[in-house]
């Protein structure tokens, strides 16, 4: 081994992953994100080093039912933002359809272009790590990409199901992707997820029923306004509705403009800071919860058989679960 390569190898060993991420080392970023995904404790000190270098990226959430077209829209957005010179990171949470890296499906030349584009970085989170789960892993991957200097970070999550990622606590702008002809489904999405959508995207607008879906969304937004108890002095945002055909790119300009106008709104009204505080609060509470739970579990594990004993006592009605938790949490 030459003196030079030995020195290189040594510096790669001695340098922390975080230092390498900050120096633009893509492989170190991948490694760290894998550690995050696996829920490794060793990722925490690295994330701590990265922390002061984060907070610059704009995070855009893409959510909606399975197959609505989130990844296809995401690919189009990568193109759109790359055209304006912005670097893009993508965190896809448990997707069944992969991001192609900004490639239009079937367009191999472009796919290769993006595979080599250092300004696009895509990471899928597949595993369900232990504590904190997907939500925390997604937030931490966003943080790594932020530290890498990505301008825009897209986060794709399925907006239904048990393991729902807290996208509102993660993104500055949440885009809800719906498809026409959902009928009663539009009613079904109104709980919870409708409240957090900043931009609506009716994708697959090449299909029948777009006007109807548009009308239904609008009437639900009316309802939301009517019952809204928002503070009077606060500027309120009217979520725009864009119609897109991700397959051929129709309507994408409108969608990008809707997202950008929301970003301008946040900046002009000072609400971007509010969101950042909200995100920080969500994250702090999540870390606190994980930490408290982890230390309680550790205490339990130190006493071999304790958990089994607790469970049997509760099952036999010798003690109630609340007092046993209170005793443990003291």
Ligand X SMILES: Nc1nc2c(ncn2[C@@H]2O[C@H](COP(=O)(O)OP(=O)(O)OP(=O)(O)O)[C@@H](O)[C@H]2O)c(=O)[nH]1
CB of 326 to Mg ion, least distance (A): 43
Specify burial of residue 7 (Cβ count, 10 A radius: 0-12, 13-18, 19+).
Answer: exposed
Q: Can residue 214 be called a binding residue for ligand X (CB under 6 A)?
A: no
Candidates 35-43, 87-95, 162-170, 235-243; binding stretch for Mg ion (CB under 5 A): 87-95
**Binding-site partner at residue 89 among Mg ion, ligand X, none, CB < 5 to 8 Å by type:** none
How many helices (DSSP H) and strands (DSSP E) are in the chain? 14, 7
How many residues are there in the chain? Answer: 330
**69 is an interface residue for Mg ion by CB under 5 A:** no
Q: To the nearest whole angstrom, how small is the minimum distance from the Cβ of residue 49 to ligand X?
A: 33
245 lies in the binding site for ligand X (CB under 6 A): yes
Minimal distance in Å, beta carbon 180 to ligand X? 10
Give min distance, CB of 156 to ligand X, in A: 6
CA distance linking residue 320 with residue 218, whole number of Å: 49
Q: What is the phi/psi pair of residue 207, to 5°?
A: -95, 170
* Cα separation, 199 vs 241, whole angstroms: 6
Q: Is 68 in the site for ligand X (CB under 6 A)?
A: yes
* Token reading at 317: 């009605």
Stretch that binds ligand X, among 9-17, 46-54, 143-151, 201-209 (CB under 6 A): 201-209
Min CB(245)–ligand X separation in Å = 4
Residue whose Cβ sits closest to Mg ion: 71
Output 147 or 252, the one with its CB closest to ligand X. Answer: 252
Interface with ligand X (CB under 6 A), residue total 18
Q: What CA–CA distance (Å, rounded) separates 23 from 43?
A: 17
Question: Within 211-270, which residues bind Mg ion (CB under 5 A)?
Answer: none
Q: How far apart are the first and last CA of the chain?
A: 58
Q: Does 157 bind Mg ion (CB under 5 A)?
A: no
Gap between the Cα atoms of 156 and 65, Å rounded: 11
What distances in angstroms separate CA 54 from CA 47, 48, 166, 286, one per listed residue?
10, 10, 19, 19
Does position 97 interact with Mg ion (CB under 5 A)? The reply is yes
Residues lying near ligand X in the complex (CB under 6 A) are found at 64, 66-72, 95-97, 158, 203-204, 206, 245-247
């Amino acid at each position: 081994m030459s003196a030079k390569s030995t020195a290189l190898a040594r510096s790669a060993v001695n340098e922390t992953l975080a230092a390498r991420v900050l120096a633009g080392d893509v492989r170190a970023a991948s490694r760290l994100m894998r550690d995050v995904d696996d829920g490794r404790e060793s990722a925490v000190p690295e994330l701590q080093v990265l922390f002061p270098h984060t907070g610059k990226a704009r995070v855009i959430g893409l959510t909606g039912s399975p197959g609505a077209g989130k990844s296809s829209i995401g690919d189009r957005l990568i193109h759109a933002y790359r055209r304006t010179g912005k670097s893009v990171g993508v965190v896809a949470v448990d997707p069944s359809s992969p991001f192609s890296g900004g490639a239009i499906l079937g367009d191999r030349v472009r796919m290769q272009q993006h595979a080599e584009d250092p300004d696009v970085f895509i990471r899928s989170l597949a595993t369900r790590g232990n504590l904190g789960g997907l939500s925390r892993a997604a937030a931490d991957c966003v943080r790594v990409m932020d530290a890498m200097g990505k301008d825009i970070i897209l986060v794709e999550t399925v907006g239904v199901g048990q393991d729902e990622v807290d996208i509102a606590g993660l993104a500055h702008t949440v885009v809800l992707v719906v498809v026409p002809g959902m009928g009663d489904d539009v009613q079904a999405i109104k709980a919870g997820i409708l409240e957090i959508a900043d931009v609506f995207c009716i994708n697959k607008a090449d299909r029948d029923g777009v006007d109807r879906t548009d009308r239904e969304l609008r009437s639900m937004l009316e309802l939301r306004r009517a019952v809204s108890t928002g503070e009077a002095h606060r500027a309120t945002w009217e979520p725009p509705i864009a119609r897109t055909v991700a397959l051929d790119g129709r309507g994408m300009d409108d969608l990008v403009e809707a997202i950008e106008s929301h970003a301008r709104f946040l900046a002009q009204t000072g609400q971007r800071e509010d969101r950042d505080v909200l995100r920080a609060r969500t994250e702090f509470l999540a870390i606190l919860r994980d930490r408290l739970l982890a230390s309680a579990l550790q205490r339990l594990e130190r006493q071999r058989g304790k958990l089994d004993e607790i469970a049997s006592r509760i099952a036999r009605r010798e003690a109630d679960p609340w007092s046993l938790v209170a005793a443990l949490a003291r």
